[in-house]
Chains A and B, each alone.
Chain A
Amino acid sequence: MSIQKKSNWELLKNGMFGENTIFRMAISLCPSIAVTNGLKNGVALGISVMFVQTMVNITISAMRKFIHPKIRIPIFMLVIAGYVTIIDMLMATYARTIYREIGLYIQIIVAFASIFARAEVFASKNKIVPSLFDGLGMGIGFLLAMIVISFFRELLGKGELFGYSLISGNPLLIMILPAGGFLAVGLLMGFFNWVDMKFYGGKGASGV
């Protein structure tokens, strides 16, 4: 695979932009709407995912010589679930208010296709350091997406950022509701596609 020849910086960049989980690959979409009604929640989930993604990549990469290919899927699952449990318990203990709102979605990180996919496609075939950068890149990419989406939603929907009031008047309440979440992601995705097509000659997202 050509990916192996990439430098660490390229790996990082690839995860952040080229293969951005949400806007380019369009996987792990659920949290992009569920927890992006405020920057605080979005960042919290983004960091959690980044942590799990990176740790899983490192662990799988370290174990890759010992895992029999036939049982690799349950092993991957176990590793992911283990880290998710750790972050779940950490959040439950130290970040109670946020946990109350997004606890379910933290637990559901376990079913994220992106984490599983990187373990399968990259970490299980590469050394530890590249795996770390790959996981970190994917994680940061995810975090960035979370930040962009929740920035717009919180600003438009509440006139606030991180809970601090910025705009007075009547905000577009819908933006922090489910419908507004879908709309925001759809419009942002379309916008990024437009930028990509207009300035980088891309063909737009492949779609699922």
Chain B
Amino acid sequence: MATEAKAHELIVSVSPHVRGKETVGRIMWTVNLSLLPAFIMSVYYFGPLAAYVTGLCILSAVLTEHIYQVSLNKKTTIGDGSAFLTGLLLGLNLPASVPFYIPIVGSFIAIVITKLLFGGLGYNIFNPALIGRAFLLISFPRLMTIWLKPTAQFVSLDAKTTATPLGILKEGGLDQLMQVFGDKADLYMSLLVGNRAGSLGETSVIALLIGAALLLYRGYITWHIPFSFLATVGVMAWALGGDSGFFTGDPLIHLLSGGLILGAFFMATDYVTCPSIRKGQIVFGIGCGLITMLIRLKGGFPEGVMFAILLMNCFAPLIDRGVKSKMFGAIKEQKK
């Protein structure tokens, strides 16, 4: 029969025989793309140093992953964009003025210790970029808290340093923050566009929100974590952040400053290290918010987003264990 010859060419595999078009690489590279506005703003405010630091982070992250995998005779996975993303996020989380070895050490910790030793992408417990950053902050507390003053031009190498808004708030309170920024409207505006000291990628709230909108639109992240995270921070800031008693705080200052937007949309939502069930993600977001504000208001550090996300990373497997999605037909079962 004519088909006899054909028979051996047919491919046999298990259903389904058609697949959606999403791939890990597509998702990761889109996230990278969504951070582009924030990166551009960082170069605008902090000059070529910003590009240098971020580039060095990306380069060392990608190279580290490649060398590790090649030297162990494994398939290199740098094409999926996750190492690039780790480097990029680490870079955006560093101050502009760090010496060259800080990005390299940070990338090594992020890629090797946090990701590859755990079995690679998909198995890490902690967000690699954040562990890299935390490691650096604890190791080099002084170098990691030198903040350059934003200059608002692409070329400048202004060496003037200043404190971050949250740093000022912690040290001198709201009054001093007002002295530095003028009135509240000026403060909000500076925080929105990113004209303030801080880690490279965290300053420009508008640029970050543009990227976040892309991710939300594409469905790569959902509202659950960012919303519950931001809402908790807002409520906590309003309730406990005021100088004149409960419910007098200014939630906007806390929402717009620090690494909150960057953390809530781009790092707390890291698939691998957050709970995978949506209900659990809300718990996760609320936890992040609570710890962030606890540290900001009472703790030893001016900013708590990084530690909050890392601490909730610890709890994510526990949350995943405790929160199960509702199974089809489960109501009747319980009544029995």
Chain A residues in the interface with B (C-beta under 8 A)? 170-175, 177, 179, 183, 190
Chain A residues near B139 (CB-CB < 8 A): 170-175
Is B140 in contact with A170, judged by CB distance below 8 angstroms? yes
Is B135 in contact with A174, judged by CB distance below 8 angstroms? yes
Chain A residues near B142 (CB-CB < 8 A): 170
Chain B residues near A177 (CB-CB < 8 A): 138
5 pairs of A and B residues whose beta carbons are closest in the complex: A174-B139, A174-B138, A172-B139, A173-B139, A170-B140
Q: Does B113 contact A (CB under 8 A)?
A: yes
Expressed in whole angstroms, the Cα–Cα distance for A172 and B105 within the complex equals: 10
CB nearest neighbor in A for B99: A170
CB nearest neighbor in A for B137: A174
Chain A residues near B135 (CB-CB < 8 A): 174, 179
Complex interface residues of chain B between 135 and 166 (CB less than 8 A to chain A): 135, 138-143
Is B143 in contact with A173, judged by CB distance below 8 angstroms? no
Expressed in whole angstroms, the Cα–Cα distance for A7 and B105 within the complex equals: 48
Expressed in whole angstroms, the Cα–Cα distance for A171 and B141 within the complex equals: 11
Interface class of chain B by DSSP: helix
Is B113 in contact with A173, judged by CB distance below 8 angstroms? no
Is A183 in contact with B138, judged by CB distance below 8 angstroms? no
Expressed in whole angstroms, the Cα–Cα distance for A174 and B143 within the complex equals: 14
Expressed in whole angstroms, the Cα–Cα distance for A156 and B140 within the complex equals: 12
CB nearest neighbor in A for B117: A190
Give 1 or 0 for each of B127-140: 1 = CB within 8 Å of chain A CB.
00000000100111
Expressed in whole angstroms, the Cα–Cα distance for A177 and B139 within the complex equals: 9
Is B143 in contact with A170, judged by CB distance below 8 angstroms? yes
CB-defined A-B contacts under 8 Å, sample of 12: A170-B139, A170-B140, A170-B142, A173-B139, A173-B140, A173-B141, A174-B138, A174-B139, A177-B138, A179-B135, A179-B138, A183-B113
Chain B residues near A175 (CB-CB < 8 A): 139
Expressed in whole angstroms, the Cα–Cα distance for A94 and B272 within the complex equals: 53
Expressed in whole angstroms, the Cα–Cα distance for A175 and B113 within the complex equals: 14
Q: How far is the CB of A168 from chain B (nearest CB, A)?
A: 14
CB nearest neighbor in B for A175: B139
Interface centre among B113, B117, B139, B141 (most CB of A within 10 A): B139
Chain A residues near B143 (CB-CB < 8 A): 170
Expressed in whole angstroms, the Cα–Cα distance for A170 and B138 within the complex equals: 12
Chain A residues near B113 (CB-CB < 8 A): 183
Chain B residues near A183 (CB-CB < 8 A): 113
Expressed in whole angstroms, the Cα–Cα distance for A69 and B117 within the complex equals: 46
Q: How far is the CB of A205 from chain B (nearest CB, A)?
A: 16
Q: How far is the CB of B58 from chain A (nearest CB, A)?
A: 22
CB nearest neighbor in A for B141: A173
Q: How far is the CB of B135 from chain A (nearest CB, A)?
A: 6
Chain B residues near A173 (CB-CB < 8 A): 138-141
Expressed in whole angstroms, the Cα–Cα distance for A184 and B113 within the complex equals: 11
Expressed in whole angstroms, the Cα–Cα distance for A173 and B142 within the complex equals: 11
Expressed in whole angstroms, the Cα–Cα distance for A173 and B135 within the complex equals: 9
Expressed in whole angstroms, the Cα–Cα distance for A172 and B134 within the complex equals: 12
Give 1 or 0 for each of B280-323: 1 = CB within 8 Å of chain A CB.
00000000000000000000000000000000000000000000
* A-B contact sample (18 more), CB < 8 A, given A173-B138, A183-B113: A170-B139, A170-B140, A170-B142, A170-B143, A171-B139, A172-B105, A172-B139, A173-B139, A173-B140, A173-B141, A174-B135, A174-B138, A174-B139, A175-B139, A177-B138, A179-B135, A179-B138, A190-B117
Chain A residues near B117 (CB-CB < 8 A): 190
CB nearest neighbor in B for A177: B138
Expressed in whole angstroms, the Cα–Cα distance for A175 and B138 within the complex equals: 9
Q: How far is the CB of B72 from chain A (nearest CB, A)?
A: 11
Chain A residues near B105 (CB-CB < 8 A): 172
Q: How far is the CB of B307 from chain A (nearest CB, A)?
A: 12
Chain B residues near A171 (CB-CB < 8 A): 139
Q: How far is the CB of B102 from chain A (nearest CB, A)?
A: 9
Expressed in whole angstroms, the Cα–Cα distance for A171 and B136 within the complex equals: 11
Expressed in whole angstroms, the Cα–Cα distance for A174 and B139 within the complex equals: 5
Chain A residues near B140 (CB-CB < 8 A): 170, 173
Q: How far is the CB of B17 from chain A (nearest CB, A)?
A: 42
Chain B residues near A190 (CB-CB < 8 A): 117
Expressed in whole angstroms, the Cα–Cα distance for A190 and B117 within the complex equals: 10
Complex interface residues of chain B between 5 and 53 (CB less than 8 A to chain A): none
Expressed in whole angstroms, the Cα–Cα distance for A173 and B117 within the complex equals: 22
Chain A residues near B141 (CB-CB < 8 A): 173
Expressed in whole angstroms, the Cα–Cα distance for A174 and B105 within the complex equals: 12
